[in-house]
Amino acid sequence: METVDEVLLDAMEKMDNTVNKLKDQFSGLRTGKASPALVDGVQVMYYGAPTRLRDIANIATPEPRLITINPFDPTALPEIEKAILAANLGVTPRNDGRIIRVPIPELNEERRKEIVKVARSQSEDARVAVRNVRREANDLVKKLQKDGKISEDERDKGLDEVQKTTDAHIATIDNNLKAKEAEVMAI
């Protein structure tokens, strides 16, 4: 990288990816209502190859506490059922020979607190990842100055921009965590 702007763009892209990954993780956390995201990424052994559930079936939520899974190939029903049980999502699928129904049980207070702990842990991992990107970007900016490609003023300005970007991404992570906690704890 030759300029501070390139370093900043790269750092911002990596931080954005971290925030997006956290949002994906949050969508997989179970709340009190049915969401296709709960089973979207479940890996099913389909003709000997691990395949995402959403690639081999239609997933719908016809009711607030029910997920229906309608496979394109009915012979995959037993494998889908096994995969959902193996994913340890805290739900039990019901196979009627045509579709699989996954009733979502009401969450008790203890389970809600466990889910919030998991969300906090995932948020902290994301914050650490963002800080690691900041450290790498700062090192690159300092190296540019050391190699004589930028002045000390440009280095200082670049370091300030990296810090502002980091602060903005950490604030986004915190806001996503607050929203997820409120969603999980709502009865």
Distance, CA of 18 to CA of 149 (rounded, Å): 29
**pLDDT on residue 32:** 67
Among candidates 91, 95, 115, 114, which has minimal Cα distance to 103? 91
Q: Which CATH superfamily is 4-27+108-185 part of? A: Ribosome-recycling factor (1.10.132.20)
Choices 3.30.1360.40, 3.40.50.1860, 3.40.50.150, 3.40.640.10: CATH for 33-103: 3.30.1360.40
**pLDDT on residue 134:** 96
Distance, CA of 118 to CA of 135 (rounded, Å): 26
**Residue 61, helix vs strand vs coil:** strand
**pLDDT on residue 1:** 65
List of the chain residues with pLDDT < 50: none
- Amino acid in position 143: K
**Residue 99, helix vs strand vs coil:** coil
**pLDDT on residue 54:** 86
**pLDDT on residue 30:** 67
DSSP for 113-171 reads HHHHHHHHHHHHHHHHHHHHHHHHHHHHHHHHHHTTSS-HHHHHHHHHHHHHHHHHHHH
Provide the β-strand partners of residue 94. 101
pLDDT, one tens digit per residue, over 83-106 is: 988 887 778 899 988 899 998 887
Full-model pTM: 0.70
* Residue 133 structure tokens: 């990107």
H or E, element range at 7: helix 4-28
H or E, element range at 58: strand 57-63
- Residues 48 and 57: beta-carbon distance below 8 Å: no
* Residue 157 structure tokens: 């300005």
For the chain, give every domain's residue range: 4-27+108-185, 33-103
Distance, CA of 31 to CA of 186 (rounded, Å): 9
CB atoms within 10 A of CB 139: 11
